[in-house]
Amino acid sequence: MTGELGQLAVCFALALSLVMAGAGLLGARADQAAARSIANGAAMGMLVFVALAFGVLTYAFVVSDFSIALVANHSHTSKPLIYKISGVWGNHEGSMLLWVLVLAIYAALVAGLQRGGERLTSASLGVQGLLAAAFFLFLLFTSNPFGRLDPAPFEGAGLTPLLQDIGLAIHPPMLYAGYVGLSASFAYAAAALMVGEEGWTRAARPFMLIAWIALTCGMALGSWWAYYELGWGGFWFWDPVENASLMPWLIATALLHSALATEKSGAFRTWTLLLAIGGFSMSLIGTFLVRSGLTSSVHAFASDPTRGFFIMILIALAIGGALALFAWRAPTLKGGAAFEPVSRETTLLLNNVFLIASCACVFVGTLYPLVLEAFNGTKISVGPPYYALTFAPIFFALLLLVPLGPRLGWKRGDLKAAWRSLYPALGLAVIAAVTVLAIITPRSVVAAMAFAVAGWLIGASILDLRRRKGARASAFAAALAHAGLGVTLLGVTGTTAWRSEALTVMAPGETIVVGPYTLRFDGVTEVTGPNYVADRGHIALMDGGKVKAMLRPEQRFYTAEGQSVSDTAIRTTGLRDLYLALGDNRGGGRYAVRVYVSPLAPLIWLGALVMALGGMLSLGGRLRAGARAPVAEAVAAE
């Protein structure tokens, strides 16, 4: 019965999304106030029904209702509650339901906040209604989460053990909040093209920020998960699915910067619109890559050509429609701000140039092999060395420019003064590079350069924070986000350049030395978890003759799914990780053990956190300003 309730709720939500699309688009006309009320109501109603459908599915997972095929295929009674819940989106159908839930939340927010005026809001809701309708149809016709099994099996098939992890329980909702968050900017941009309203960037900015924060956190979570779960100490693999989240992030970052220029000085009007369209297009393409089964990874739950085809049509309509609207309406926009070559506008433009080029690297690197194979069957692979030669130098160039931007005025800046004010940051950069070259082995020029850039970024941010004491939240926010980039760069460099490792077979009582650590293997015991059995290694971190700490990496065997997964043991000082993974039993109590010592690894995720904090600070400032003052005043205060 509950399953049918969920199904019915999705059907109602589809109907409401169509109402929202029609009424919203009609409400873009000044004299259609009634249509606008209907669109607002439909947005709220749609959220209610999608939430109901999602609640029903979650309930089915929690109570292990195996008469629903999805639950039977992806859950198991022995799973801990949290993984029963996260199992809802640990599969294709459920994750698409989550996708439309997030879409409905954003539509309800757009309707509730009414930013940028009634007509702009209404037209945005119209666009969001169209998107939602397309995804509801996709859900109902190719990915129904509520399909039944008769007779219902006695037990479910379980969830891939790799996904039974707290990081991966939060990672998809976070990433979807980012992906779908870009749909709000997309809708606002399309609405602005219809209504011709200026100030859409201001209306859409909180949504851009939320999407960007969520993408940043989502990617960081995903990379952190890969680090501790896959057992190889790596944090980024340039996997197509990782790339699928990196591309929207790069475009969202470009959008945040370009929209700032549009809002503050009226520059790059058409370009910002195009970026808003491009950002969500990247989200859609990412979804296509992941959901179509074109790429094989832990994320590709099912390969079904119908779904891929459906999403491809959806992408073509969404992107094509938006671009057609753009081509039709953009020429009517008032364009052409006036600014001097040395100005903040120029730095923001350069920011966009480098971000677009970085995104192009990822885009081509991800799609080229697929296209080539489809074209003439040639298989090539594009791995990390490609990105090291293309993405890395372009992104490096961008990072060099970052500190200059906030120091140049709008319209006209003083390059000499900006440069002079950056001397301390330059000093920090030189010190960082020299220290690295002088002290740390193995000596690496690339690492020294990376440290110089990180010092340059962090130094400039510290100067910003000091210089603007008591200043606006937005300046602090930018400084924090830029500092976060530097911190992440330190982490990436540290682990890449100076990681030491040992792959060895150890007998009980044996000790090894890896980097500064002495480790003693104390054997393995068997333990039983809620839904797995594990070999738990006991490895003592020695200090002199004494045991300083015990580390317990596990090799878990999930009985329901019949798969093994390693559970690493990581001991961190905050600046260095000692990372242990237990391998296979080699007989006689001997086990394979992998040890990594990763200097600065935690900084990778700390930096992302700092970036996200910067975003949140900016968001907070925006919402407060929005609540406090009418538009004109708030702009003046920025």
Q: Near other proteins by CB under 8 A, which window of 120-128, 364-372, 417-425, 538-546?
A: 364-372
Q: What residues from 465 to 504 belong to the interface with other proteins (CB under 8 A)?
A: 502-504
Among 29, 148, 412, 571, binds other proteins (CB under 8 A): 412
Nearer to other proteins, 8 or 512 (CB): 512
Q: What residues from 294 to 353 belong to the interface with other proteins (CB under 8 A)?
A: 296-297, 336-341, 345-346, 349-350, 352-353
Q: With CA atoms as reference, report the closest residue to 591 among 507, 468, 470, 509.
A: 507
Half-sphere exposure of 434 (CA within 13 A, CB side): 6
Write down the least CB distance from residue 258 to other proteins, Å: 11
Backbone φ and ψ for 594, nearest 5 degrees, come out as: -110, 130
Q: Near other proteins by CB under 8 A, which window of 165-173, 303-311, 317-325, 363-371?
A: 363-371
Q: With CA atoms as reference, report the closest residue to 429 among 460, 405, 401.
A: 460
Among 32, 216, 390, 598, binds other proteins (CB under 8 A): 390
Taking the alpha carbons of 166, 244, 277, 98 in that order, is the dihedral positive or negative?
Answer: negative
Among 147, 564, 571, 590, binds other proteins (CB under 8 A): 564
Nearer to other proteins, 29 or 520 (CB): 520
Q: Near other proteins by CB under 8 A, which window of 72-80, 433-441, 579-587, 611-619?
A: 579-587
Nearer to other proteins, 128 or 281 (CB): 281
Query: What letter represents residue 451's amino acid?
Result: F
Write down the least CB distance from residue 415 to other proteins, Å: 14
Nearer to other proteins, 305 or 384 (CB): 384
Nearer to other proteins, 315 or 397 (CB): 397
Nearer to other proteins, 361 or 453 (CB): 361
Q: Near other proteins by CB under 8 A, which window of 308-316, 365-373, 484-492, 621-629?
A: 365-373
Nearer to other proteins, 256 or 267 (CB): 267
Q: With CA atoms as reference, report the closest residue to 236 among 372, 456, 391, 434.
A: 391
Under a CB-based contact definition with an 8 Å cutoff, are residues 304 and 142 in contact? Answer: yes
Among 1, 151, 332, 379, binds other proteins (CB under 8 A): 379
Query: What letter represents residue 26's amino acid?
Result: L
Write down the least CB distance from residue 637 to other proteins, Å: 25
Q: Is 441 in the site for other proteins (CB under 8 A)?
A: no
Nearer to other proteins, 345 or 554 (CB): 345
Q: Diameter of the chain by CA atoms?
A: 83
Nearer to other proteins, 338 or 637 (CB): 338
- Number of residues near other proteins (by CB under 8 A): 56
Among 158, 365, 553, 602, binds other proteins (CB under 8 A): 365
d(CA 34, CA 437): 69
Nearer to other proteins, 365 or 621 (CB): 365
Q: Is 451 in the site for other proteins (CB under 8 A)?
A: no
Q: Dihedral angle at the C-alpha atoms of 226, 229, 230, 236, nearest 10 degrees?
A: 10
Backbone φ and ψ for 237, nearest 5 degrees, come out as: -115, 0
The three-state secondary structure class of 73 is: helix
Q: Near other proteins by CB under 8 A, which window of 15-23, 309-317, 386-394, 429-437?
A: 386-394
> What DSSP element (H or E) covers 504?
strand 500-506
> What DSSP element (H or E) covers 350?
helix 344-376
Under a CB-based contact definition with an 8 Å cutoff, are residues 178 and 222 in contact? Answer: no
Q: Is 234 in the site for other proteins (CB under 8 A)?
A: yes
d(CA 325, CA 580): 55
Q: Is 281 in the site for other proteins (CB under 8 A)?
A: no
Q: Token pair for residue 30? A: 């000044």
Among 80, 153, 320, 384, binds other proteins (CB under 8 A): 384
Nearer to other proteins, 297 or 572 (CB): 297
Among 360, 400, 462, 631, binds other proteins (CB under 8 A): 360
Q: With CA atoms as reference, report the closest residue to 209 among 589, 576, 622, 561.
A: 622
> What DSSP element (H or E) covers 512?
strand 511-514
Q: Is 514 in the site for other proteins (CB under 8 A)?
A: no
d(CA 625, CA 617): 12
d(CA 456, CA 460): 6
Q: Is 374 in the site for other proteins (CB under 8 A)?
A: no
Q: Near other proteins by CB under 8 A, which window of 187-195, 383-391, 427-435, 603-611?
A: 383-391
Q: Could you tell me if residue 266 is left (phi over 0), alpha (psi between -120 and 50 degrees) or otherwise beta?
A: left
Nearer to other proteins, 94 or 233 (CB): 233
Among 48, 149, 323, 364, binds other proteins (CB under 8 A): 364
Determine whether 619 is exposed, middle or buried from the number of CB atoms within 10 Å of its CB (0-12, 13-18, 19+).
buried
Nearer to other proteins, 99 or 391 (CB): 391
Q: With CA atoms as reference, report the closest residue to 57 among 7, 102, 107, 11.
A: 7
Q: Is 232 in the site for other proteins (CB under 8 A)?
A: yes
- 154 C-beta neighbours (distance < 10 Å), count: 8
Determine whether 79 is exposed, middle or buried from the number of CB atoms within 10 Å of its CB (0-12, 13-18, 19+).
buried
Among 71, 101, 267, 478, binds other proteins (CB under 8 A): 267
Nearer to other proteins, 356 or 440 (CB): 356
d(CA 163, CA 631): 45
Q: Is 590 in the site for other proteins (CB under 8 A)?
A: no
Q: Is 29 in the site for other proteins (CB under 8 A)?
A: no
Q: With CA atoms as reference, report the closest residue to 492 among 359, 387, 403, 612.
A: 387
Write down the least CB distance from residue 40 to other proteins, Å: 38
Nearer to other proteins, 147 or 409 (CB): 409
Q: Is 378 in the site for other proteins (CB under 8 A)?
A: yes
Under a CB-based contact definition with an 8 Å cutoff, are residues 163 and 79 in contact? Answer: no
Write down the least CB distance from residue 592 to other proteins, Å: 5
| HEC-encoded secondary structure of 396-452 | HHHHHHCCCHHHCCCCCCCHHHHHHHCHHHHHHHHHHHHHHHHHCCCCCHHHHHHHH
Under a CB-based contact definition with an 8 Å cutoff, are residues 129 and 39 in contact? Answer: yes
Which spans of this chain sit near other proteins (rule: CB under 8 A)? 232, 234, 237, 239, 267-268, 296-297, 336-341, 345-346, 349-350, 352-354, 356-358, 360-361, 364-365, 368, 372, 376, 378-386, 389-391, 394, 411-412, 502-505, 564, 583-585, 592, 594
